Amino acid sequence: MAGACLFFLLLNNKDFVFKIIEKLVQRGLSHLEQKILPASGNMKEFENFLKSPYEIGVYLDMHIAQLKNINIMAKEHNKKMIYHVDLIHGIKNDEYATEYICQEFKPYGLISTKSSVIQKAKQKGVVAVQRIFLIDSHALEKSYKLIEKTQPDYIEVLPGAMPKMITEVKERVKTPILAGGLIRTSEDVYAALEAGASGITTSKKELWNHFAN
């Protein structure tokens, strides 16, 4: 009897159920098991990533004509790809391009500085990563307002070699953080993770190898 009552209660409160599911998904995203996210900027780096034990990778810079082949290669190696929409040449980084990429290639995630891209990615069920730059206090405040609007799954903070700022951003926005840019040594990686980063995006193969062992 109690089970039946609970069923009908949930059935009549769909919005509440969806909010619970969303919270559970977000909680899962906040605990990224893979701490190093190999970032590829060309095919040679991408091929190295395909040979690596890492499941999730980032592709930073390509032409739209390359995306189909890159996506096929990734799937053949059971890799999950995060594409940087702002760095896909030959296509505009807006909500229409995002919808096309999501429908045609079904990426694991998308990175962008654009709010329209982040919102469309979330709508399509793709992990949305808002990239922000730690330039100065004014730019940071603008980024906070943007994050409040877009509610991304992750924030990618650049440069990532600023542990104090990682801590500050995490405390302010309560969103999982990826640190990228100017992370050159294992000490930089440990410092960023200790400061509160959930993961590190890096193109340095030495770091891929170091943390894969």
User: Is 122 part of a structural domain of the chain?
Assistant: yes
| Neighbouring-strand partners of residue 36 | 200
User: Is 1 part of a structural domain of the chain?
Assistant: no
User: Is 112 part of a structural domain of the chain?
Assistant: yes
User: Is 213 part of a structural domain of the chain?
Assistant: no
User: Is 206 part of a structural domain of the chain?
Assistant: no
Residues near 150 by beta carbon (within 8 Å), at least 6 away in sequence: 115, 118, 119, 122, 128, 130
| Neighbouring-strand partners of residue 88 | 62
pTM, two decimal places: 0.85
Find the domain containing 114 and state its range: 34-200
User: Is 12 part of a structural domain of the chain?
Assistant: no
d(CA 48, CA 182): 21
The Cα angle at residue 178 between residues 201 and 55, in degrees rounded to 5: 55
Beta strands 177-180 and 154-158 are parallel
* Domain count within the chain: 1
Could you tell me the CATH number of the domain that includes residue 54? 3.20.20.70
One digit per residue, pLDDT tens: the chain, 213 residues? 544 444 444 446 545 434 433 443 333 344 578 999 999 999 999 999 999 999 999 999 999 999 999 999 999 999 999 999 999 999 999 999 999 999 999 999 999 999 999 999 999 999 999 999 999 999 999 999 999 999 999 999 999 999 999 999 999 999 999 999 999 999 999 999 999 999 999 999 999 999 997
Q: Which helix (H) or strand (E) holds 137?
A: helix 137-150
Q: What is the maximum span of the chain, computed from C-alpha positions, in angstroms? A: 62
User: Is 191 part of a structural domain of the chain?
Assistant: yes
Residue type, 173: V
User: Is 29 part of a structural domain of the chain?
Assistant: no
Q: To which residue do tokens 């891929």 refer?
A: 208
